[in-house]
Amino acid sequence: MARLVKQSLGQEVTRMLKRMIIDGELEPGQRLVEDRLAAELGISRTPLREALHRLEQEGLLQKRAAGGYVLRPFDAEEVEEAVQVRALLEARVAALAARRATPEQVAALRANLAAFREAAAGADLARLAELNAEFHLLLRAAGGSLLLARLLDEIEGVVERIIRALVPLREAGEWSDEDHARIVAAVEAGDADAAAKAMRAHVLHGGEAVLDTLRHAEGETPPLK
C-alpha cells in the first residue's frame, strides 16, 4: 500500500524557501519581511516563521540583533571551507557504503551511473544535476548514517547556492561520470579506503571548479555580499 505522508505547510514552505534561496531568487543580505513573504506565498506568518527558524538553524538565514532575518551573505573562503568539510563527510559516507551496501543498493548505484552516462551523452543538464543529487543520496542511504546524511544536507544548502549559480555543468558531466564510476566500483568491491579516497577526490574536484569560477568572478562583481 502506498504510504501517504502528510506534509505540514511549515515543512512545505521550508523546502520552497530553501529552493528559492538556492536558485538565487532572493538577494544575499536582503532582509526578509515576514508579512510580505507570507502574503507572497499566500500563507499566514505562523508556518512561515516555522520555516525561517529551521533555515536559521541550518545557517542559511541570520537573525538580526534587532529582530527579523537576513539572507546570510558569504564569501569564497567560506565556500572553500564548506567544500573541505563536505569532502571529509562524503568520504566517510563512501567508506561506510563500501562496508555495508546491500546488492540492491549497489544495483541502484549502477543504474544511476548508466542513466548519468546517457544524460551526459544527450547533454541533458537538468537531468544530469538531478541524477548527480540522486547518486549522493543513494550513497548516503547505503552508508546508513542518519547523522552524516543530515549534516551533509545542511552543508549542501550553503554550497549548492553557489554551485547552481556558477559552475558550468557542461564540463562537470565529463569528469563526474568517471568519478562516480570509480566510487561505485570501490563500493561494490567493499574497499572502504578506495571509496573514501575516490569520493574525496570527487568532491574536491567539483569544489575546485566552483572556487575557480567564484574567485575569478570576485573581481568583476562584488558578488554575493
Partner DNA sequence: CTGCTGCATACCGTATACAAAATACGAAAT
Partner DNA sequence: ATTTCGTATTTTGTATACGGTATGCAGCAG
> Which positions lie near a second copy, rule CB under 8 A?
5-6, 8, 10, 46, 49-50, 53-54, 57-59, 65, 67, 78, 81-82, 84-85, 88-89, 92, 145-148, 150-151, 154-155, 158
Q: How far apart are CA 70 and CA 75, in angstroms?
A: 16
Q: How far apart are CA 36 and CA 52, in angstroms?
A: 14
Is 157 in contact with 58 (CB distance < 8 Å)? yes
- Closer to a second copy at the Cβ: 81 or 191? 81
Q: How far apart are CA 71 and CA 19, in angstroms?
A: 13
- Closer to a second copy at the Cβ: 10 or 190? 10
Q: Which of 17, 21, 22, 32: binder of DNA (CB under 7 A)?
A: 32
Q: How far apart are CA 93 and CA 179, in angstroms?
A: 15
148 binds, among DNA, a second copy, none (CB under 5 to 8 A by kind): a second copy
Q: How far apart are CA 60 and CA 141, in angstroms?
A: 25
The piece of 17-25, 44-52, 179-187, 217-225 that touches DNA (CB under 7 A) is 44-52
Q: Is 59 in the site for DNA (CB under 7 A)?
A: no
Is 131 in contact with 112 (CB distance < 8 Å)? yes
Nearest approach in angstroms of CB 3 to a second copy is 9
Q: Which of 34, 58, 80, 124: binder of DNA (CB under 7 A)?
A: 34
Look-up of cell digits 563512501: 94
> Which residues from 179-198 bind DNA, rule CB under 7 A?
none
